[in-house]
Structure 1
């Protein structure tokens, strides 16, 4: 997809010289012009018609050229230039040699990195983008305005994401578009399926990223060399998400090729809740060593046994007990009269107590063992069950009447407690050796339908009942519980607690504490009772989740688990490194239903990717502040991992500000900065360093409340010469990073303060890019030479002075976040302090170093000027109003600008300030360099 010089030989050139040269056996043409001594140069060089592939709306133009140093020409320094311009013009057909300059639109100004001096002729290579192409073809043109320049080669190409197969889905070749990410749908390969259409994103650089909804081999097939192949006999694959065919589990058998399940062999079964991929189990054997111990005095039998030797291969063993009694030759079920402790079925322990037995009867007890497949076996064959164990015994039981509580007495009374005791009397013989007491009490209340009873089970004849209400009457009753059953209960007695304040004990304690407090010059731990509510707050420190040996432990510690059934995805609102981001609804029990943001982990992730993905939740879950994005919870125990946070309706702060340029008053902007600084103070108090503070990582809700987000833990790259570092989102731009963090990898709260200063500038400049189009190298060089960003338009002087304090070279002298919060609070409390505006230089703040006109030459058209201040959308407005020359523009007033259709306050100010700057400037570049 490349057009080279060989295809561009027939070039229309006006005042450019052409030369044919031979290099390495190949001929090529070069085009040069060098009229540096003459004024008003306007030399054009145009390519042949370049046909465009219909889907290629964005092409790259790579130039190789040399430029001679103007200082090498005597007497030509005033007219000589060291740059030239590139233009483009679209057409549906070749116009031949017809050439009209008005049809061409400027793309950019080309400046060399190195210029020719004496015998050195360095070749410069520059690549520019031509975007928004829509017709069948286009021309390129190069305009010289007084330089000594030679163009050696022009290479025109466009980028594509090549046809590819990823995760069993095929994707067609796709031309890289103008958007950062272009969505491309694919098709699953044979014997592969997907719940949703497989999707991937094509970047502007021609690279595939973020595959979503990948295809997977259907049941009975596995992926081998990117092809779905049948499972071999004896192997199976039951579900789509599984990766490989598995060997049929124990006690199962395969049926052939492509098995999705392995059925049980005869005599073995699966329980209803057993997975179809698991082994089959048999029935358990009989319980062993069944013994019956008779307790004659209480009509009770204790049955004990040992587990069966064969459990059927399962651990879910339970037991059931059957009882039959015989009176002479007649035998029948024991009936409901007999009681079992704890129960007669579903027993997990190998013992049961049977009571309420009659005297002088024969009893037969049968114990059966069951496991999880017993029910399935019964359905398959009603006679299929394990052998039982049976124990027969003859009872000769004698009963003793249970005891009775005859009286209760009050031993001690307090405002919140009552101490009671009672007397137990047997009716006939001495009571059994041990029994318990059931104490029931309630408030005295005539409305019995609303009464709450409290029951205590005790092993002694006294109790102290606490947590009672002062000056309140309670009703108490006690009943003994013996091995033979319940005894006689006492009558219901009433006792009343004392009124509150009738005891001096608490006051004595406080006096003692006061005495200890006054005896120390410094506050000790015991003085916490007398601290303010702020002092009582525990000092919470951030814990790095990477210090946990198992990162999953950190997630469980700091984030709550949410069941995916409680989450409803509504629409995609973004695509991150790990997968798509959705807007959705959270409907969890005990929570208010509301909108949330849902970050998803793309299928086919590695364990490291999963840990990196969830690490942000482990970090976010430790924070609780109104200006920190709130973590609602995570989904980790299911197939698709997710991070669920609160939903911020207005999205990222930088984009929101650009969309509302000039619409938000300064005091509201300062209020937004106050919220961000409050969140950062909270983080710094927890000893957490953000490392990636920027307006793009601040989220805004409908109330214009700003919250700090993006807590993907950053890591310094030891082998990066520029000292940049990466996060889950990629490299951090130099323009937001403090000098010591760039040079020495010193990331502290002080470096976060520097970043906060850049965020302040972004907010007051309504989302303008810091340092405009300067390269990272130019930014670092400028900062080291003490250059600082100028004040944005209409920025209060006090706010700009705070920015400069944040950008002090020595980090120890920068303000701390508590200081920043305090200052911003003072500004908000005194709105008049925001009326003094910082000095604004439109030649620096609006005219960008790398845009048109920055070479010092005057603007040749209104459209060129508007492009330089990023207001090209108003070109047609100026043309329709007859403003076609820069001389006419210089005479415009604010009212004239409004009349041609510029209504937004921010745009109106930008254009007006630029006109003001043009009136007194001679060279924008020279002023900027100063």
Structure 2
């Protein structure tokens, strides 16, 4: 294509297999280059523009390349390195490229081999380019200087020519871009070099047309780091629906396709994928493929065939059929053969027929039987269909068994009965169903007529009937038979039932309430059954006049009694449990866990699964990598980078997300530990718990996707906004954290690492608990100073309850202790708990009942709540439900937040340390003092204003701070508090407490 070149970069490897033979594997990476200019192919003078303020020294000459082909070259050998000598090409059209590559072949003479001043000699030259929409360059335009030209690079030689040395030429490839105009000029600047420019080749890379995964992608020119290319399905392939996304693939800037294509193309019915999913091939004759998809063609089912290629189904052979309910991939079948061995039993005017199953069922399992009856005037006379007076038990058609009883036949009459064997394809056969017939003649009937059926009693489900015994001079009556049918459903055989009785009275049971029935009766003598009597109608209770039922009233009374009993039992259980909870909080927690086991959702530790990956699949949703777009890296976690990106799930609104990635080279254990956080987080659904969007494990890198919290970690956010929030706003943040922890404690989950650094804040100042389960996996060689070894593990000493430090006893009560530290962090705007005390000093101080003092301007009620959370006995600490209630009361009564530690009563615990802020006089320099009060960001401003000594700060006021750039009220307050301590110290040093 044009002057394009196909480039193959091949790698080979040989590996020994289990057999003695060796296998050779070759992998080729294919990309395409399109040449925009190549001076080696020019046959005439190049006539490039030469410029120099002195005598031009660039010279176009003819020479021979390494293959002894004649080429046009430019050479220069300067004697004065103080002047610039320029060489500019003609306009090079960029075509579709946004960035191009320039391959330079040149030679350069070593300075030591030249007779010139060493300082003026150079072994480099510069490459520039200039973009233009028209070929408008002249000898003076554009100006011969770095601007408007854009510098690409200073090119140095790898091989220098020297006297008596080997002659080698240099090859350098440089990249230009981004290009936006029609074309560009190349410019070469020499400043003291002695060189020959042998050839210049300008080209750009593009990804060649590609077929993969049943999708074709066109030749694509990368216009950025990664260029998206939209493809289409190959011939005889399609996507599953009109809303399916077209195939997509990405072309890298190096002209190579990256990643696998995202495609849903599948072969059409009658076609299967071949040649490694490069094409869809028609199914051969005798094969079919019913649906579109990735499956192969299948041989035609039994008793079917096809003589064509590319068919979606096979047709049945002659005499074989498919039922309307059969799918096209099922075998063809045929009707069954006729039933065998019909055996009749005649009882006067009734008949029982039995038979054997057919020899051939037709290859189906839906075999049924049907009985046809024809009555004949004489054995040799014409026959007609039997009338409605003949009944069949259990039915005339769709019989599953091989026995039927026929009633209501005429006496001394010839009948022909045919039993047909049927299945679902019998109606499709041109020959009709196969049957076996038999002729019978009934006996003499006795005209015993029964009449006068009457109702004795009736209930909602039964009728008691009686009738008069008919006079019978010749035969005694052996039995009566009743036939009763629901009048609303008709008198068809399917809705009628029969009952026999030895006397002239019968009870019909299992009837429908308030339903009318039609009843007939007939008598049986030794000569057989007589005809049925005329139908008489009867109705079960209640009839239209009934307004109430004793049973209904009784049922209502019983239901009300049961409801009252359940209510009394429930109240008693509630009172007993409430009394036990007040006596023993530990028992209350156990009862709560028991109730959770009875139906309330409880946290499940993913490491209790035999296969931790099963927990990941159960609690975390897999997201397609094409739905996630990473925009920037915002931090680093224990397992890899943390990024900000966008998540766009089809059918949902695009939103920002945080993306945790697992760095390469991980072990199986690191992967399990990384995904365990998703297994934990996926079980929680609460507005103050960080929300898990899903995970990506099907591609690299492995990712955890969570909601994006714009303001980051709570501790750094508070330090950045020191003094900018009111107490009611801070209490609102604390209330959100407590609500999230209440939810976790009710789920029986212990956080173990609750701290302000593990609380995230969104743009609406909503605080959410995050970082689940990671603290338990910290390694012994962790360099994080926050976590210190204690009894075989790493724990955050400053935030951890005493029993957890000493005995590794982590409970919801130890989380309450940590929450008290978080309260102190929030009210001190991110101050480090226990300041610069060592971890061992913190442990010793807590054992001696030391507790943190209230932060500046901290409401007394809040500090009292902190002290309650720091009770030494864990059973004495409040639960998170109590903390939420206490904070709600403070929010509803804002006036209580105005009472600070200086105004209200002192805390219930002795405070061993009431630290004053560091004074300037206690620090050796201005920078040391500002760092001590966490205000080091203003050090440069103080020094530039002339405050080089801490003694100059005694008369500093708020207006001076504004001029120094200290505009935040909280920062002004912290600086002025330290300076006020300096003033007091200057008057009376004994007043300062350390």
Q: If the TM-score is normalised by the length of the shorter chain, which range does it land in?
A: 0.3 to 0.5
> Bigger relative contact order, structure 1 or 2, given CA contacts below 8 A and separation 6+?
1
> What TM-score results when the alignment is normalised by the length of structure 2?
0.43
> What TM-score results when the alignment is normalised by the length of structure 1?
0.46
